[in-house]
């Protein structure tokens, strides 16, 4: 059996890993690479194998850096099946359509610029037709229910606790009369976070492909993050400013809304409005409401006792219309604005940052990981000047970085997750979905825990296992 590491190899985006054995060829995830425009444009047109020869995609979850290249795979000839949980499928319906809209808008913008320069026009990476076609290839699979995507392969999904519908998986491959088990974490969630159940342990395996986003890092406890959220909102409102929160439409937005809902019911927030300004986040929140089977016991009890709708309260408004979004920037009143994207690379959040980043009364609250070369990372680094829509702006707003809201396990939580696996059976650990520095830190932590030799493969590296 052969593993080819293609995306999320020594970086935190574009998850895609090719598995080949005598029974077939499949991808673990098919994610969009996000980063510098030219590099992303090139990498998102390259696949580890001819898409027409890929039999199936095993999708860990719906985040665009794990699912967002599926429509391009379809456009290039993929005719297999995509296996995902029902919640992941429902999320992808909205998220891939939103991504296609962004691809088409970006291509139109580039083409207008190139026409002025006399350059060549480009095609969008994919469009709505490709999204519709690949969604027809989805097949629902439940947690803990073995299924066989191709002959000689059995797969079991477990709840990853990362976002709604997320899954870890173990692939049992039968080749030449020999059985080999491959584990793939996708993205591992965190214990005791709100809304979702804790990550379920993975079955023992011979080879593990493990995410490493927060190697060498430790998150604050969830309760400390809730207290800090209340403090930041109160302090910013007292200054007469806005709290601007770039947040992923899936997971992060719903968690922030739920925490604000709790704080509102407890009477701990100032009487200021809260806006979720993202059409995608509005659609995704509806998907969350349709899948209570993914909720943890805490949220179910809260819904029964205090609030039937944890994603709505009297000061909260979901904004779809672009004109209503623009009115938020014109207002000088204190408010909370939650808007996508989480890395500040696209969407309405750019307009809110453009209007609010130079006002020292405001707070920009970063609540998740921001990859290198993104606007979000530059804000995290507190650069004195950043560019938005190509124009320079002084960063004068307060910056609050709260990685405790991350849906990714930190180093200690990742090590605890791996500790469930038999070290005598586990032959190899491949670290993916992490910067090189984070992978080295996690490698050392795993070695200290009795799991030596973890390695972070580069893009295109091939291993026989």
DSSP 270-307: -S--EEEE-HHHHHHHHHHHH-GGGB-HHHHHHHHHT-
pTM of this prediction? 0.88
Beta bridge partners of 159: 167
**CB-CB neighbours of 388 under 10 Å:** 16
Q: What is the mean pLDDT of residues 99-125?
A: 81
* Of 193 and 173, more confident: 173
Report the C-alpha gap between 426 and 210 in whole angstroms.
12
Decide the pairing of beta strands 242-246 and 335-339.
parallel
pLDDT tens profile 23-53: 999 999 999 998 777 788 899 999 999 999 9
Q: List the CATH code of the domain at 222-405.
A: 3.40.50.10890
Helix (H, G, I), strand (E, B) or coil at 319: strand
- CB-based burial label for 273 (10 Å; 0-12, 13-18, 19+): middle
Tell me the pLDDT of the chain averaged across its residues. Answer: 93
Report the C-alpha gap between 108 and 62 in whole angstroms.
26
Max alpha carbon distance in the chain (Å)?
Answer: 70
pLDDT at 273: 96
- Same CATH topology for 2-217+407-464 and 222-405? no
Superfamily of segment(s) 2-217+407-464:
Ribonuclease Z/Hydroxyacylglutathione hydrolase-like (3.60.15.10)
pLDDT at 172: 98
Length of the chain: 465
* Domain ranges within the chain, ordered by starting residue: 2-217+407-464, 222-405
Q: What 8-state DSSP symbol labels residue 147?
A: B
Tokens of 272: 């200021």
What percent of the chain has a predicted confidence (pLDDT) above 70? 99
- The helix (H) or strand (E) run that includes residue 328 is helix 322-330
Confidence of residue 306 (pLDDT cuts 50, 70, 90): low
Nearest in space to 71 (alpha carbons), one of 104, 38, 42, 39:
104
Apex 164 CA angle, 281 and 423, nearest 5: 140
DSSP string, 403-438: GGG-SS--HHHHHHHHTTS-TTT--EEEEESS-HHH
């Amino acid at each position: 059996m052969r593993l080819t590491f293609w995306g999320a190899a020594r970086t935190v985006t574009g998850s895609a890993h090719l598995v080949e054995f005598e029974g077939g060829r499949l991808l673990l995830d098919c994610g969009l690479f996000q980063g510098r425009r030219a590099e992303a444009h090139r990498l998102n047109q390259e696949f580890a194998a001819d898409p027409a020869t890929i039999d199936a995609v095993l999708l860990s979850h719906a985040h665009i850096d794990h699912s967002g290249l599926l429509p391009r795979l379809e456009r290039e000839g993929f005719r297999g099946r995509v296996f995902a949980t029902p919640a992941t499928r429902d999320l992808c319906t909205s998220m891939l359509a939103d991504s296609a809209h962004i691809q088409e808008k970006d291509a139109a913008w580039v083409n207008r610029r190139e026409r002025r320069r006399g350059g060549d026009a480009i095609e969008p990476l994919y469009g709505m037709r490709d999204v519709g076609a690949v969604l027809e290839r989805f097949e629902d699979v439940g947690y803990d229910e073995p299924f066989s995507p191709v002959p000689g392969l059995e797969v079991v999904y477990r709840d990853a606790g990362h976002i709604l519908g997320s899954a870890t998986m173990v692939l049992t491959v039968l080749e030449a009369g020999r059985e080999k088990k491959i584990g793939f974490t996708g993205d591992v969630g965190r214990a005791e976070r709100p809304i979702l159940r804790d990550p379920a342990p993975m079955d023992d395996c011979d080879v593990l492909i493990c995410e490493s986003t927060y190697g060498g890092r430790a998150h604050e406890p969830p309760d400390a993050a809730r207290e800090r959220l209340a403090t930041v909102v109160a302090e910013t409102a007292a200054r007469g400013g806005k709290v601007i929160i770039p947040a992923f439409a899936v997971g992060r937005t719903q968690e922030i809304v739920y925490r604000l809902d709790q704080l509102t019911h407890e009477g701990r927030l100032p009487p200021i409005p809260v806006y979720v300004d993202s059409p995608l986040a509005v659609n995704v929140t509806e998907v969350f409401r349709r899948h209570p089977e993914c909720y943890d016991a805490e949220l179910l009890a809260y819904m029964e006792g205090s609030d039937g709708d944890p994603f709505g309260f009297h000061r909260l408004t979901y904004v779809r219309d672009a004109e209503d979004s623009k009115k938020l920037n014109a207002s000088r009143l204190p408010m909370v604005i939650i808007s996508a994207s989480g890395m500040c690379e696209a969407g309405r959040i750019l307009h809110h940052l453009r209007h609010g980043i130079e006002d020292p009364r405001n707070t920009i609250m970063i609540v998740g990981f921001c990859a290198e070369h993104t606007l979000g990372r530059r804000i995290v680094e507190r650069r004195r000047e950043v560019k938005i829509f190509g124009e320079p702006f002084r960063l004068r707003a307060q910056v609050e970085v709260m990685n405790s809201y991350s849906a990714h396990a930190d180093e200690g939580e990742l090590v605890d997750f791996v500790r469930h696996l038999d070290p005598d059976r586990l032959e190899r650990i491949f670290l993916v979905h992490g910067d090189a520095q984070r992978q080295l830190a996690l490698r050392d932590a795993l070695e200290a825990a009795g799991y030596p030799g973890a390695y972070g493969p580069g893009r295109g590296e091939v291993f026989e296992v």
